[in-house]
Structure 1
């Protein structure tokens, strides 16, 4: 018997080493990793710059708490502020904590109580972020949720026009819904969300936990649409695998989070900040992001050309290296066969194969992955047709 709570449906695989896009299991088998820790290892496994930065910090200081000045936090916050166009950062340990901070800040700053989110969204598994999540399967079994969240249909411009009330503190939205199925928001929808926030005197909160830190070819996915959020949350790729999250906000919100209003014992510790700084210094430059755009655009186009003619594939969707292959039927079997063929992928909802390779994936590795996906889905389509 394991001494762990069975909260995960774990694969019967133990990964013991990795470098770049390749990982090796305890039996010596090597895989192409297009999960990347669920969009966490944006620089691949064991990136040398991040490893070096953390090792150097390990020899100096691990933890002192936020009772003291931390220049590492200031340096990392400046990189995030410059990349986002916002002004101030609160560091924590996860995406859920970042979204908790955003919810608290929006309510405290506006003096209002309601947050609007969207169906099929995912914002975390703490009680508040679970309540913010628009998926019944996440809610099931936990009794009454927090009553101050309301879910609207995603990509429905008309539904946004029907909003009424003067107690809305903010609207929280993902530019691309990740766990909900890799569902990209349309330009018209996202612009309407922004306009609605202005009309309601509510804050625009953009959850970039999965889409941020270069995943879609820009620092944050909202920048594809020239949106101007009040609050942005980040985590996953922020520390290259080191547990860290961040809430980023505009300067008008700074005085609302005064001393004692919020906090985190481990948030922003020196080790995490070393990982963040090295990660951002690598990703947040024009040449790196330009290469991500170029490689991902070609890869998505190739996937569309090879897969969309198949009867079992509805569409290939996504942006950058956040890609979903929408199937007609359940994706579970296809994901298992891809794994048997040496490619690690994961679902996004029941019918979507999600591809989240490291941003450093090579052209040769993308071609290898394309060959595996094409071979597996073509074979399954042929079997279905018989």
Structure 2
């Protein structure tokens, strides 16, 4: 079968046809009349869900778009049949002559018609069998029927049909591209939502594990305390004392505990001062994060602020860490517009005799100043490491 004709190809538009009948229909629709035999079979892709055959990948994609069916079976080799162009053309002439093709050995006899009239019809572009049928049906009068289209009109019509088909294919390709882009966006959103859900579940699992760990620690401490109490009662019994302490013993223990607590309180440092601006520091960071869609710029700004606060808190006596020039191009490129308000809330302030963009720390490294800078650093650390910072 490799050397036998399996299809016909229109040399005018490269359309592949699987029979002479299809070639005739193609020629009548487009005005094309040049066909060649081909050993390449017409592609046949059959939908396994509805048995719809498709000849091209474009037809397959359009069928999938309209029905949602995605599984196709390639039956090209099974459906390929060797064709005899001459025999099929003979059958077609017999059908046009009205003799039918039920009998395999039908004798095809062409009706006698006016030869000159037939030649004139062929010169005007009519196929011979159509001209014979027209003259035979008109009684061989020889009158030349006027064709519905001149050759020029037929060519123009064929060009128009080809242009329409080309535009249709372009529109279909654009529609397929649009659908593919929608599917890509939808898949991206689903992946992002799945990632967020996984992060939330991971956080919940971590919190639950921490809660269970604390509960287990509490129970362990309770068991140790009970064991110590039991051991204490056993020692008292061995010493000939009552299992439980007497009121006098309890009072002595309370007095001893109070004295110990007073001694420890005297050793402890005074509590750090209350930082009233902690909430404001967080609100400023949330505002900067929500005020821009550039996540990289937000991260860079927060990292820079954290370095500035950390340097000043860790080395309060270093003058270069206590003075900031916000007009410096390198520093300005790393900070967002609202960063100055955050620095002022963390303790920096404008100083007399300095430029407009210069801020200094006026506290001379006092404990309150260090605590304020530390609080600002904690808020920045939370903003950089907590994925839900500012989301609620």
What is the TM-score of this pair, normalised by structure 1?
A: 0.18
Higher helix share: 2
Higher strand share: 1
Rg larger in structure: 2
Name which structure has the greater RCO, CA cutoff 8 Å, separation 6+: 1
